[in-house]
Structure 1
Amino acid sequence: MYSKTILAAAAIAGVQAQSSINSTSGYLNYTTVTGYFLQDLASTNVSTFDYTATNFGLINRTYPATAGLKANLTQWQQFEAQVNALNADAPLNTAYKVLFLGRHGEGYHNAAQTFYGTPDWNCYTSLLNGNATASWFDADLTPNGIEQALIAHDFWAHEIATQKIPYPQSYYTSPLTRCLKTANLTFSGLDLPQYYPFVPSVRELLREGISLHTCDHRRSRTYIHDLFPTWNIESSLTENDELWNGVTAETSDAQDARSKIVLDSIFSEDDHTWISITSHSGEIASILRVLGHQSFSLSTGAVIPVLVKVTFLPSGPPPSNPPYTTSTHCAAPPVTSIASLAQGCVCSGTAVGGITTPIFNISSDYPTSAGYQATDLGPVVTSAPAISSYSY
């Protein structure tokens, strides 16, 4: 990997193609290379798409890189050769990478939203830590979510054995519990090579969109380390969650700016081509927007690969730091929700809109081993730190 002081990019091809782009200034531009996966096509029905029935969506086709070859290669081996050829032929400022984007299995927050209904969930219940039977603060996986992660594990095992799919060379995950456990269930125990072991990097900015929902408030760094002590937790991930405050929320523009930061960090530091990212529906949607990919909604536990062209440019648009927004909600279950309203909340005794005062005041982070931090005492935190002030 080139030094970060060099304003350049590299593309290196081999049996396992590797490429890296490194810079201290300049701009990384992302483009989705279409024509290889069903998820790239506007004609693909998102609601019926099944990654396990479609070879991760890889289209059966021929490639220039394997034209005329007599070897009996699987579709994934042919695609791997094509990616290697793209990197070998790429100019110095360009690299091609394949991202396996996996959504976590069903969490208790997903089950709660289904149980309570979207208006109640968005306007009130999601701001609670849980109910009498379940917790959805930094939500854990439900039994169904565990099963979905194990389905992904078994499908990876099948693809490795029968399709000779390229192994992920690097693994990244959100710091939220449902992603940590999904990644572990998916990849632990697979027949992976020693030179590409499953040792994920936990990245703060791969988390779900930052909102008032307690399911998106992460536990402490110590908790993550104790859960998976051999994993790599980035040095800038703070002990307690400094991005969630229970009052303000990211806009889509703010989340996309955050996603650009974490992709820039990964692609500047990681010289691998085949990369696994375990994250969330909202964050994967944001990553796809940054990559110029069409909208493609993943069901819980689903995985899609995306072929990405990364180009280093001497300059680009100035960095953006879109502000957070103060979200409205209800102090009790809502009457209903209306799409035309700012947050959609119609609260009891309120004609329009909702309230902006938090249901819980936040006095301290993680006072108990359970990690719950919301209390009815203490000062209210009313602002979120600027994402751009973090070095991820």
Structure 2
Amino acid sequence: MAESPNPTPKYITFSTVTGYFQQDDPITEDRGFDYTKTNFGLIDRAYDGDSEFDPNHKKTQWERFGNEIARLNHGSEPDVQYKVLYMGRHGEGYHNVAEAFYGTHDWDCYWSLKDGNGTITVTTPFSSLPLLEFAVLGFLENWSDALLTSVGIAQAAKANAFWRSQIASQNIPTPESYYTSPLLRCLATANVTFSGLDLPEDHQFVPTIKELFREELGVHTCDRRSSKSVIHENYPNWPFEAGFKEDDPLWDAEHRETNEAMDMRLGQALEDVFSNDKNTYISISSHSGAIGSILRVLRHRNFSLGTGQVIPVLVKAKQVTGERPPRGKGPYTTISTCSAPSATDVPI
């Protein structure tokens, strides 16, 4: 009997469907943009299905948007799918405070290579700290896999309040699947943002911890993750993706990931989600660099996010027959370092 031929190779291409959110419009400034003051950036507009879905004009903008997405998916070709990504950057972390204090040059060449600056140590597991108790803690001795500051916690709480308001007043389509970077600041941000919301019973907040959704890899200790055991100790009910390692397999003390390498990694993460998750509304809790890379993969315009900010994107994914572009570990670069910080530097 003749052997069956090898399966035809396929891969997924991504594009942003523009015209739905202010953030994909080139005239929208990212500096100072606040998703809580703009309905997540959802553009107030009519959709093709409005006349049938909302003949009496009683539905909210988000309800009509939800119908539009269902209509797009229902009418799409078998190899095309549409998903809405709610991508949130973590709240302010102690590493963000340190970079702002020391300056980007000294942070990149000296302080970011350190585990901390030798001030206050916190030993209590952070996920067990009450919000107000956590908020009064001072600067950390250790910003390796940095925790949230009180400002960062407040930013996540603001997101929680906004989601709560949107669910109650707009009937916004809530995430059906949740993913988070394994870095502690993202885990904490996701936890504060989505805990306690009135979510559908079949789509409760139980995020999958996914390795490839983490920040730009290498050199900076704030981007070196904690062990799987530490993460599990603090979030025992959150599942890890299959194959998640005990110790960080990706961080490199001497080399920093390039944009090309990031785009390969984040593209792989997206392809995994789109290939294996049939849900339409996806939450991703991640980082500024990682979300910037995702936007490049999605062919979205550059849109920088401040700490605690959120950007939604309507994505069209198409399965393509043929050999996939290269994937795996892309090129890294060597970072210039300095033997000492500027003379004006003092501990915080």
Q: Give the TM-score band, short-chain normalised.
A: 0.7 to 0.9
> Unpaired segments of 5 or more residues in structure 1?
1-6, 8-22, 337-392
TM-score of the aligned structures, taking structure 2 as reference length: 0.88
Change (3 A) 1:24 1:173: farther
Q: Identity, % of aligned pairs?
A: 52
RMSD value, Cα: 1.6
Tell me which residue corresponds to 1:129. 115
User: 2:331 aligns to what?
Assistant: 323
Match of 2:209 in 1: 202
Deviation at 1:323, TM superposition (A): 2.1
The one-character-per-residue Cα deviations of 1:158-206 (angstroms, maximum 9, x if unpaired) are 0000010011100000000000000000000001111001000000000
1:95 aligns to 2:81 (yes or no): yes
Q: Pick the aligned partner of 2:179 from 169, 172, 184.
A: 172
Q: 2:94 aligns with which of 108, 117, 138?
A: 108
2:58 pairs with 1:72: yes
Task: Give distance in 2, aligned partners of 1:137 and 1:24.
Answer: 44
Paired with 1:247 and 1:319, the residues of 2 have a C-alpha distance of 24
Q: Does the 8 A contact of 1:56 with 1:303 survive in 2?
A: yes
Query: 2:209–2:240: 8 Å Cα contact kept in structure 1?
Result: yes
Note the C-alpha offset of 1:211. 2.4
Amino acid at match of 2:195: S
Give distance in 1, aligned partners of 2:8 and 2:192: 36
Residue 257 of structure 1 aligns with which residue? Answer: 264
Match of 2:20 in 1: 36
Q: Distance in 2 between matches of 1:57 and 1:78?
A: 15
Comparing 138-147 with 238-247, greater Cα deviation is found at 238-247
Q: Alignment partner of 2:202: what SS?
A: coil
SS at match of 2:201: coil
Larger relative contact order, structure 1 or 2 (CA cutoff 8 Å, min sep 6): 2
Q: How many residues align?
A: 315
1:307 partner SS: strand
Q: Which amino acid aligns with 1:152?
A: A
Structure 2 unmatched runs, 5+: 1-5, 120-139
- Following superposition, the deviation at residue 70 of structure 1 comes to 1.7
Q: Is the 8 A contact 1:124 1:334 kept in 2?
A: no
* TM superposition shift of 1:65: 1.3
1:240 counterpart residue number: 247
Moved more, 131-140 or 28-37: 131-140
Report deviation, 1:156: 0.3
More moved, 53-62 vs 326-335:
326-335
Measured after TM superposition, the shift of residue 24 of structure 1 is 8.9
Within-5 A mapping of 1:1-392: 25-67=9-51, 69-133=55-119, 134=140, 135-320=142-327, 321-333=329-341
Paired AA for residue 327 in structure 1:
I
Preserved contact between residue 285 and residue 297 of structure 1 (Cα < 8 Å)? yes
